[in-house]
Chains A and B, each alone.
Chain A
């Protein structure tokens, strides 16, 4: 059962230090995206304008304004992973999913996201499959994951 926005805001009211950014991070943490009504809610919470909140929400690539797909595939495209064959892995993911980075499939099954550096450079190429990091991954691994994900339900809905 997904948390409701009202609960997130109520919990944030109890925190000693809340900023627009920390509130938005918390909303997305709980709801996996920023629903339209979250923007005025955070504005009210922080005593700022809707504009002040939007400007932050649109700056950081972390935030999304629509629910993510059932399965989220994130691939690191940083130079270390790139040298180890990240672009071949990404091409395999795109082919298997039928969408390009960064986008969602129309059926809501997959979200593809580029990561600029996942921090496991010693294990490139790195992909994060449904929030689980996997290193030293090859095109075949992701194809297998995508096939399996197609058959199964979502991780976080």
Chain B
């Protein structure tokens, strides 16, 4: 007999009491991919050693990513009765003094602090709640990121996790869960922004007994890392959303689908699933209810197209990730021929809070047609790269200037490359009047997509970046539809030629003229392949023409127009 929610909650609170509230300092290390790539593993090991060496009694555990990539590796120290203080850019060399001074409370080391989470105990340490990159945020999907131990489900429960699932299982009918999601106006976060509740209704109406809930965490979009961040930082929020979707649509099994080389999200998702089984949150009669549901992680090889919903099903079935023709739609004939619902990681992550607080509450955040928040990944020429959960409707200028801190060295913003490699360019001039919103951004030709925003400063060259995007698209075409297989390579050849100073007068017209043929492709990879070049030409025509007519790169970036340094980006296709 599985534990009831109340039993789980009591156990979780008892353990939390032992871990953190027993008068010992709690030290956490940001160990998402961004933390790890900045050296978090070494910092964690150094902390373990140093605490022992100095005989300091403290609780140490990993957390995921709070979103401040620029400050990694982040070490947080919460002394009993004091607000948590984040220390930035910590290296193993810094650890001994951090333990000696800050953990013991002898000296709060304002010189190493990023800030305090609340009223600061020292005038020299600022309050993070006042930071623009925090103030603008509304943390719904990421509410636990950087705080909860992603490897301990009880920690998630102690913070209120799985209460929404309990509420749904015992106080709501499946259709009521769908109604709340419809009321919330939640739109899919994988890029297409389709209304989630409507999608769930399709599956709910399909006959059982076997139905699948697929969670798409393939995340191939260069510049987007929010799916991975959620899975690394708070996998249980994703899992709870999946189980709720399963209950709402009377499905039987969920799959979380992750690219095979992204080992950290895989590890943490697997661990969360295993613990959920152990605690009776997955399997038969979840938390003592009538509802049973299974879940597993499925891996794909590296393939951008496997993020497309039908290609994803092909990959889970073990074949090449190539799209299937639609109809039939997945809700009718999906994985292994059974009715299936596919949403992105982020989409599911909103569901627990929507169920807990009601669809109307969620719909009160955001803009008129883009409800709630977007998980924005800022990268490129930006002072504060990171992952920020921002309400829709926020002006893009606020996103880039206030939250991201603008370009480094006071340079001007030239463009935002949004929506991944099939998205577009949004020029700085339009940034002034465009809000962060699905429809408003679509109207510019760029898109919000899955939330990646790559910032290009005045030093960046549009041709140079477009060439990288078109090479990516050519590389990643799965090859099933020949307009895409040939067209993406053709576009890349043209862009490479222009970047190398060998452009021809009619090149851009030729490339853009491929759009109608590309539209015949089965999936968005071909259908949207002219997006980057179309928006580049629309907004930066002069710069592209300078490359073609004058053999000149105004920004001085294009390699061939300097001395040729690298073969790294020469040649296309997969060389083995």
* Chain A residues with a Cβ under 8 A of chain B: 17, 19-25, 29, 46, 55-56, 59-65, 75, 77-80, 82-84, 86-88, 90-91, 94, 100-103, 114, 116-124, 126, 133-136
Contacts and interface: CB of A to CB of B under 8 A. Distances in A.
A146 B153 CA distance: 41
A118 to B, nearest CB: 8
A116 B220 contact: yes
A117 B321 contact: no
B260 A80 contact: no
B301 A121 contact: no
A28 B569 CA distance: 27
A91 B568 contact: yes
A117 B566 CA distance: 19
A61 B574 contact: yes
A35 B487 CA distance: 34
Nearest to B457: A83
Given A78-B222, A79-B380, A116-B222, A22 B468 contact: no
Contact of A21 (B261, B318, B565): B318
Contacts of B225: 119-122
A91 B564 CA distance: 10
B228 interface: yes
A85 B89 CA distance: 21
Contact of A121 (B222, B261, B262, B318): B222
A97 to B, nearest CB: 12
Contact of B476 (A22, A63, A116): A116
Contacts of A87: 559, 565-566, 568-569
29 contacts: A21-B300, A22-B299, A59-B301, A59-B303, A59-B320, A59-B321, A60-B301, A79-B223, A79-B421, A80-B222, A83-B380, A83-B454, A86-B568, A87-B559, A88-B565, A101-B567, A116-B302, A116-B476, A117-B220, A119-B33, A119-B228, A120-B69, A121-B385, A121-B452, A122-B34, A122-B385, A123-B37, A135-B37, A136-B38
A63 B301 contact: yes
Contacts of B167: none
A13 to B, nearest CB: 16
Contacts of B33: 118-120, 133
A114 B29 CA distance: 30
Given A62-B260, A79-B421, A102-B576, 8 more contacts: A46-B318, A82-B468, A84-B380, A86-B568, A87-B559, A119-B33, A123-B69, A136-B38
B222 A117 contact: yes
A133 to B, nearest CB: 4
B276 to A, nearest CB: 17
A69 B417 CA distance: 36
A103 B260 CA distance: 21
Nearest to A46: B318
Contacts of B70: 122
Interface residues of B, number: 65
Interface in B268-319: 296, 298-304, 315-319
Interface of B: 33-34, 36-38, 69-70, 72, 219-225, 228, 260-262, 296, 298-304, 315-321, 377-381, 385-387, 417, 421, 452, 454, 456, 460, 464-465, 468-469, 472, 475-476, 478, 559, 565-569, 574-576
Nearest to B228: A119
Given A20-B319, A117-B222, A80 B569 contact: no
Nearest to A23: B318
A122 B36 contact: no
B566 A94 contact: yes
Q: Point out which of A62, A80, A100 has the most chain B C-beta atoms below 10 A from its C-beta.
A: A80
A108 to B, nearest CB: 16
A123 B34 CA distance: 7
Q: Point out which of B300, B452, B568, B575 has the most chain A C-beta atoms below 10 A from its C-beta.
A: B568
Nearest to B479: A59
A125 B276 CA distance: 37
A101 B301 contact: no
Contacts of A114: 568
Given A102-B575, A119-B219, A121-B225, A134 B468 contact: no
A109 B468 CA distance: 29
A82 B465 contact: yes
A38 to B, nearest CB: 15
Contacts of A59: 301, 303, 320-321, 478
Contact of B69 (A83, A116, A122): A122
A152 B499 CA distance: 40
B37 A80 contact: no
Given A19-B316, A21-B318, A121-B385, A135 B260 contact: no
Contact of A61 (B224, B301, B379, B468): B301
A24 to B, nearest CB: 8
B425 to A, nearest CB: 11
